[in-house]
């Protein structure tokens, strides 16, 4: 294994040293909402210019907005500029998980994860796919909570995130709220109005998580994402227990679309939106956020609409959601200025729309800090790569010819502590506030992804990268349905020109960031395989050494 490279950029050294180691619905396709034109980059404060860029800069935006940079995409963005690429991506039709699950030739209990891998590696709408994955870690449901047998329902839920990735936040939270798999996961489904005789009161689970995790968070925020404190420096809360109880009363009276009995239904429709049972809904008055009052006597549908409007218009939604998305896509520690600039777009885009996620994502990616933060704030810019992204980026860099129907990496969660729609709780795989003890914590920085990284998981990651490179390439594995074989034909053509080969690997795997020390180590390793028939071995080992290095573990 390669040691920590002394010449790595500061944030890489900080992150690796702090870790303690130096190694490393098919039928819904037509229902995609019309996307309001995303905000022109020229109207985003501190936007980067949309001009041709270097291949290294093109790699960086692909690293932030896709499941991995491909050489063709690097060349395309370098020639056209980032805004043109973003606009093209947003115009592409959605590739849905339900469609992939319907076409799957295996009925394994966790096949939806293999479908997810296919979307990550092959789907053209990469920006939508990456955004949906980020949203899935904010609006969390999980197959590990007894929902693993509901694969079509899990895929259908993920399709909501895909369909609304560039839509409106208010529309998204309504679809999520009425989705039966969410209703099952956070127990809004079958939520009964108060009944003293039956000793029933409304379940508060969904109400609490909608407020805390899906919309406004626990503390009041300024537009730049910083907390609003009282005179003693204590953050002001966004809501109290009475507010949670009021929302819990709002979310009463909803059940499966085909339920024949409210408390003990035999019919269970996990696909279609839940429907209201008006006689099971609490029609009393409810006082919600900031004193907004839902009057008594309204229907379940009207109460729900008023409550979601109340949430969607709360001033915390912009900074709360924007900080989450920046953290998932670009950097764990954005400056307040970055957050504020994007929040202003979330609050009102060029069309006067509040909560347009397409405009928000574009503002995040086109912001000067996203494009130049590595130069402006080298001590804190960047983030650790999530385990799933390290694997998908390897596969996309060496575009496999095909993925065999028998391919199975649905057990990834057991190995890397992360799998799509399979977090251990509603709080996701890691907390956005997690700070690795040591250098990171001492510098008041956060490092969310490090919460699931330790010596054991890093060894597992290295082993997986070894299996996916050295043991699984097209000069070693022929039509083996159990694994994806990376295609190194292009690299074999460069093998006689060592410097050209290393320049190429530097670009497609590290975006031109390879240190002199790492390059020297790769050269030394390749020199040890100097026999004539070892070309593919040399290349595969070089790839493994690069992707398992500390430099490849960081998005910078």
DSSP string, 168-228: BHHHHHHHHHH-HHHHHHTT-TTPPPPBTTTTB----HHHHHHHHTTTS-SB-B-TTSPBP
pLDDT band (50, 70, 90) for residue 508: very high
Give the gyration radius of the chain's Cα atoms.
24
The rounded distance, in Å, linking the Cα atoms of 556 and 551 is 9
Which run of H or of E encompasses 554? strand 554-555
Mean pLDDT, to the nearest integer, of 80-85? 90
Distance CA 269, CA 162 (A): 21
Is this structure's pTM higher than 0.85? yes
Angle between helices 498-510 and 71-80 (to 10 degrees): 80
Q: What percent of the chain has pLDDT over 70?
A: 92
Share of the chain above pLDDT 90, in %: 82
What is the pLDDT at residue 481? 67
Q: What is the pLDDT of residue 530?
A: 84
Residues in the chain: 556
Lowest mean pLDDT segment, chosen from 104-108, 131-135, 517-521: 104-108
- The DSSP code sequence of 408-422 is --TTHHHHHS--TT-
Tokens of 277: 């049972």
Residue 10 predicted with pLDDT over 60? no
The mean predicted confidence, pLDDT, of the chain is 91
What is the reported pLDDT for 167?
98
Say how far apart CA 384 and CA 546 lie, in whole Å.
16
- For 277-305, how does the pLDDT look when each residue is reduced to its tens digit (9 = 90+)? 999 999 999 999 999 999 999 999 999 99
Q: What is the per-residue pLDDT for 41?
A: 52
Q: Are 308 and 173 in contact (CB under 8 A)?
A: yes
pLDDT over threshold 70, residue 6:
no
Residue entry with tokens 């590290």: 510
CA dihedral in degrees (186, 190, 195, 199; nearest 10)? Answer: -60
Query: Percent helix, strand and coil across the chain, each rounded to 5?
Result: 50, 5, 45
3-state secondary structure of 322: helix
Per-residue pLDDT tens digits for 368-401? 999 999 999 999 999 999 999 999 999 999 988 7
Contact indicator for 267, 256 with CB cutoff of 8 Å: yes
Neighbours of 475 (CB within 10 A): 17
CB contact at 8 A, 178 and 219: no
Describe the crossing of helices 535-547 and 516-527 by its angle, rounded to 10 degrees.
Answer: 150
Confidence of residue 79 (pLDDT cuts 50, 70, 90): confident
Which pLDDT band holds residue 44 (cuts at 50, 70, 90)?
Answer: confident
pLDDT of residue 465: 97
Q: Which residues, 6 or more positions from 204, have their beta carbon under 8 angstroms from its beta carbon? A: 244, 245, 247, 248
Contact present, 346 and 354 (Cβ < 8 Å) = yes
pLDDT surpassing 50 at residue 12: no
d(CA 324, CA 332): 9
Give the C-alpha separation, 432 to 126, whole Å: 24
Residue 361, both tokens: 């994502």
Query: How do residues 83-125 score in pLDDT, each as one tens digit?
Result: 999 999 999 999 999 999 999 988 888 999 999 999 999 999 9
Cα 79 from chain centre:
27
SS in 3 state form for 437-466?
A: CCHHHHCCCCCHHHHHCCHHHHHHHHHHHH
Residue 427: what pLDDT? 97
Instruction: Label residue 39 by pLDDT band (50, 70, 90).
Output: low
For residue 533, name the pLDDT band (cuts at 50, 70, 90).
confident
Q: Can you give the pLDDT at residue 51?
A: 84
pLDDT attached to residue 81: 87
Say if residue 478's pLDDT is above 80.
no
In sequence order, what are the residues at sequence separation of 6 or more whose Cβ sits closer than 8 angstroms to the Cβ of residue 194?
200, 201, 202, 249, 282
* 236 vs 456 pLDDT, higher one: 236
Strands 286-287, 275-276: parallel, antiparallel or unpaired by DSSP? Answer: unpaired
Q: How far apart are CA 46 and CA 373, in angstroms?
A: 12
Give the tens place of pLDDT for each residue, 173-227: 999 999 999 999 999 999 999 998 988 999 999 999 999 999 999 999 999 999 9
Q: Would the pLDDT of 15 be above 50?
A: no
Report residue 188 CA to chain centroid gap: 25
C-alpha span between 474 and 486 (Å, rounded): 6
């Amino acid at each position: 294994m390669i040691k920590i490279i002394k010449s790595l950029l500061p944030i890489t050294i900080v992150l690796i040293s702090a870790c303690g180691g130096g190694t490393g619905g098919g039928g819904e396709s037509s229902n995609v909402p019309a996307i309001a034109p995303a905000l022109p980059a020229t109207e985003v404060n501190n936007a980067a210019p949309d001009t041709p860029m270097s291949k290294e800069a093109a790699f960086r935006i692909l690293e932030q907005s896709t499941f991995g940079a491909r050489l063709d995409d690097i060349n395309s963005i370098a020639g056209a500029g980032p805004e043109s690429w973003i606009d093209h991506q947003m115009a592409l039709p959605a590739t849905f998980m339900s469609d992939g699950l319907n076409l799957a030739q295996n009925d394994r209990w966790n096949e939806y994860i293999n479908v997810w891998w296919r979307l990550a590696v092959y789907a053209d709408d990469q920006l939508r796919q990456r955004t949906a994955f980020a949203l899935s870690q904010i609006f969390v449901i999980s197959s590990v909570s007894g929902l693993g047998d509901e694969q079509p329902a899990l895929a259908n839920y993920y399709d909501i995130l895909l369909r609304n990735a560039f839509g409106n936040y208010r529309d998204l939270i309504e679809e999520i709220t009425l989705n039966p798999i969410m209703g099952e996961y956070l127990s809004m489904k079958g939520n009964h109005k108060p009944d003293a005789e039956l000793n029933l009161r409304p379940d508060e689970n969904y109400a609490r998580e909608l407020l805390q995790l899906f919309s406004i968070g626990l503390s009041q925020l300024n537009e730049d994402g910083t907390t609003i404190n009282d005179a003693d420096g204590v953050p002001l809360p966004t809501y109290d227990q009475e507010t949670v109880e009021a929302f819990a009363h709002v979310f009463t009276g909803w059940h499966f679309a085909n339920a024949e009995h409210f408390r003990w239904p035999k019919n269970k429709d996990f696909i279609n939106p839940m429907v209201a049972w008006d006689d099971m809904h609490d029609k009393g008055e409810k006082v919600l956020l900031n004193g907004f009052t839902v009057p008594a006597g309204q229907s379940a549908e009207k109460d729900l609409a008023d409550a979601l409007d109340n949430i969607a218009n709360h001033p915390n939604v912009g900074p709360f959601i924007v900080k989450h998305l920046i953290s998932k896509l670009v950097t764990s520690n954005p400056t307040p200025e970055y957050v504020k600039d994007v929040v202003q777009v979330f609050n009102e885009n060029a069309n006067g729309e509040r909560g347009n996620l397409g405009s928000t994502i574009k503002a995040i990616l086109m912001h000067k800090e996203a494009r130049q933060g590595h130069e402006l704030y080298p001590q804190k810019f960047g983030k650790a790569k999530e385990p799933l992204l390290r694997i998908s980026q390897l596969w996309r860099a060496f575009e496999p010819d095909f993925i065999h129907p028998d391919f199975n990496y649905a057990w990834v969660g057991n190995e890397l502590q992360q799998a799509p729609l399979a977090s251990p709780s509603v709080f996701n795989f890691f907390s956005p506030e997690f700070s690795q003890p040591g250098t990171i914590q001492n510098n008041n920085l956060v490092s969310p992804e490090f919460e699931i990284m330790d010596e054991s998981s890093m060894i597992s990651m290295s082993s997986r990268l070894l299996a996916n490179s050295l043991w699984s390439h097209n000069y070693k594995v022929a039509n083996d349905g159990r694994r994806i074989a990376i295609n190194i034909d292009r690299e074999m053509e460069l093998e006689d020109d060592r410097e050209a080969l290393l320049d190429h690997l530097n670009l497609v795997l590290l975006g031109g960031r390879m240190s002199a020390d790492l390059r020297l180590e790769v050269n030394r390793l390749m020199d040890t395989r100097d026999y004539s028939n070892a070309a593919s071995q040399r290349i595969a080992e070089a790839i493994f050494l690069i992707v398992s290095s500390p430099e490849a573990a960081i998005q910078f």
